[in-house]
Amino acid sequence: MLSFIGPRRRHGEVGLGLALVIPVVVIMGGLVLFPLLSTIVDSFYRINPMRPGTPFTGLANYAELMKDAAVQRSWVNTVYYVILAVVLETAGGLGVALLLNKLRHGRRWLLAAVVLPWCLPPVVNAVVWLWIYNPSYGLLNGMLQASGLTSGSVVFFNDPKLALLLVTIVHVWRMMPLTAVILLAALQSIPEELYQAAKLDGAGALKSFRLITLPLIASGLAIALSQSTVFAFNLFDEAWILAGSSLDTRTVMIQVYMLAFQNMKFSLGMALSLLAMLASLLVSLVYVLKVYRETRYD
């Protein structure tokens, strides 16, 4: 395409191209790639500033993680968060996207209101919800009592199952907008004629949703699913603000933070963060493959 540009010019282009990406190479290489590689390597050593030396310990860190009850609990909690958050965000996000796509007037303003929770600092969200959940004077208790569902105040975070749900709700409140926006973009790319044709052929709303909408938003759905999975796997802020280091709500990321920065077991934390990353990548990959396979038109 650029054949009219002489070889001398091409040569300059290589130099300029490389010059422009050098900052990317330096920053990403130095602050992501190198630390990632050293996470992998160091997870086979014992690195603890409180103890002398950094001996090679093979899989000892991983073995210790397998036995640790707190680590196991944090995995169980995280799996619960991921399943619940992904289901709620996808169902809610799809509903919101369908609603927004249907609107002719005021879509922009409703969209602004929908996106707002995603834009706010997660810490502030969590603090706001902490007050709503307050056992003595919180809004949730007030509403439950006013409606006669409960009598007396409930300390929600005393119930481990409920605590997990309440943390998830705060996370979903923040992350659902992203799913909604991604799915809205996918919905808007579907040509209107397809629906008219389906209507002429006598297809009902449900049938045209299943046969037109769902296959055509499949790639958006895969992106939304993997986004929400990765974010739920790395849930930290909401759980930390709402319940601190409590085992009932502790996530893998909180466990990593505590291992590394409170107990100074650096290499143990690195091994765990590596496992968490692999797990979230694996689940995302499963979605992408599954969604593509099930909705591909041949």
Partner 1 sequence: MSPRSLKSIGGKVGTGFAITVLLIWSLGPIYWSVVTSLTSPTDLISSTPRFWPSHVTFEHYARLFGSTSLSQGNEVQSVWPQFSAALINSLITSAVATLLTVGIAAFSAYAFVRMRFPGRDLLFVLVVATLAIPAYTVMIPLYRLMISLKLVDTYLGVSLIYVSAFLPLALWLMRSVYQAMPLSLEEAAWLDGASKLYTLVRIVMPLAAPGLIAAAIITFLNAWGQFLIPLVFSPTLATKPLTVLIPEFVGRNYVDYGLINAAGIVAIIPPVLVVLLLNRFLVSGLMAGATK
Residue 51 gets the label, from left (phi > 0), alpha (psi -120 to 50) or beta, of beta
Nearer to partner 1, 164 or 178 (CB): 178
Nearer to partner 1, 67 or 108 (CB): 108
CB of 281 to partner 1, least distance (A): 6
Contacts of 64 (CB under 8 A, 6+ apart): 268
Nearer to partner 1, 32 or 63 (CB): 32
Nearer to partner 1, 227 or 246 (CB): 227
Nearer to partner 1, 37 or 66 (CB): 37
CB of 11 to partner 1, least distance (A): 10
Q: CA-based Rg of the chain, rounded to a whole angstrom?
A: 24
CB of 42 to partner 1, least distance (A): 7
| Distances 77 to 69, 150, 169, 174, 256 between C-alpha atoms, Å | 12, 27, 14, 19, 14
Q: Hey, is 56 helix, strand or coil?
A: strand
Residue with token string 């995302």: 284
Q: Exposure string (b/e) for 135-152, b if CB count within 10 Å is 16 or more?
A: eeebebbeebeeeeeeee
| Distances 63 to 59, 270, 271 between C-alpha atoms, Å | 6, 13, 10
Which residue in 230, 241, 227 sits closest to 166, CA to CA?
241
Give the DSSP per-residue string, 211-263: IIIHHHTHHHHHHHHHHHHHHHHT--HHHHHHHTT-TTT--HHHHHHIIIIIS
CB of 287 to partner 1, least distance (A): 12
Rounded distance, CA 37 to CA 27, Å? 15
Nearer to partner 1, 9 or 290 (CB): 9
CB of 237 to partner 1, least distance (A): 5
* Position 279, amino acid: A
CB of 203 to partner 1, least distance (A): 17
CB of 134 to partner 1, least distance (A): 7
